[in-house]
Structure 1
Amino acid sequence: MGGHVRMGAAGEEPVVVRREFDLVLSLYQREGHGPAPGIEHHFAELPDGPLTAAQIAEAERFAVLAAEAVRAGRLTLVRCHTGLNRSGLVGAQALVELGLGVPAAIDRVRQRRSSRALHNRLFVRYLESGLPTARLLAELDS
């Protein structure tokens, strides 16, 4: 999990990905932040707020891609703007796909990334209800 920026001594600092990963899954995009040509890269724009059914489906798809890559031994990065909420949603769901329970997946993301990860309570509720259920409920709202 990571972001396109990190907080440094002088404020926001860019994080540029080159060839460090076999697979990069971006939920936010910024020009010049990589990855390098030839690196498998998928992009889906997700807001750090309420998601539509289609956006939840993309989060599910990205989680499956991440889990499959990890199973295959591929070094994988899931990233958003600061690497806390959107990437936390997909990262936690990927851990669920890999066999962890939802509370353990949320805890793992917070332990390994930041205690501030998944501070978006709506994303935690999506995970707790299950992304397929959250997607179905979002479809009812549209």
Structure 2
Amino acid sequence: MRPRLWLGGHFWAGPDGEVQTAVVGAEFNLVISLFTRPGHGPYPGVDHLISEIPDGPLRAEELYSVQQLAITAAEAVRNDRTVLVRCHSGYNRSGLVVAQTLIELGQDPATAIALIRQRRSPWALNNQTFEHYLTTGLDVAYLLAGLDARA
């Protein structure tokens, strides 16, 4: 997405349409996984944060986790560390965290979303709820989701 910040998935389709696995070794200093499967890495010794979230509406604590992961990723990028944010296919959940990371690094939400769609895929961030979280602001979305939990 930008120097030192990568977005990906655990699976990808090859040129023949056959699904391939993406296994991470030691290519990155920090791997953030929003979906995990055994055998997909990263290697021992690589910082690995796991916060499995659904590809759908998020609860307040899940939105808070997205915020914290984005802050951590942005700090790592500022410190010249390479970061991979990944989910199942590298479109929505990882797109949400990477977009929020870009926002933490100074981008406005519309530019962050456009950058992800340009550099990853036009289908990235096709979850409209996630796009609304970003354009509304995760702080506001967190507060609103917390109100729903109290109802």
Common topology (TM > 0.5) = yes
CA distance in 2, matches of 1:46, 1:82: 14
> TM-score, length-normalised on structure 1?
0.98
Structure 1 unpaired stretches of 5+ = none
Which residues in structure 2 correspond to 1:93-132 (within 5 Å)? 93-132=100-139
1:4 aligns with 2:4: no
Please report how far the alpha carbon of residue 11 of structure 1 lies from its aligned counterpart in structure 2 after TM superposition: 2.2
Match of 1:81 in 2: 88
Instruction: Give the structure-2-normalised TM-score.
Output: 0.92
In structure 2, the residue corresponding to 1:60 is in which secondary structure? helix
Superposition CA RMSD, Å: 0.7
Select 1:134's aligned residue among 134, 141, 146.
141
> 2: distance between equivalents of 1:46 and 1:37?
23
Distance 2:114 2:148 in 1: 30
The 2-side partners of 1:10 and 1:37 are apart by 31
Question: Structure 2, unaligned stretches of length 5 or more?
Answer: 1-6
Q: Matches of 2:67 and 2:125 in 1, distance apart?
A: 16
Find the aligned partners of 1:11 and 1:50 in 2 and give their Cα distance. Answer: 30
Aligned residues: 142
Q: Deviating runs (4+, > 2 A) in structure 1?
A: none
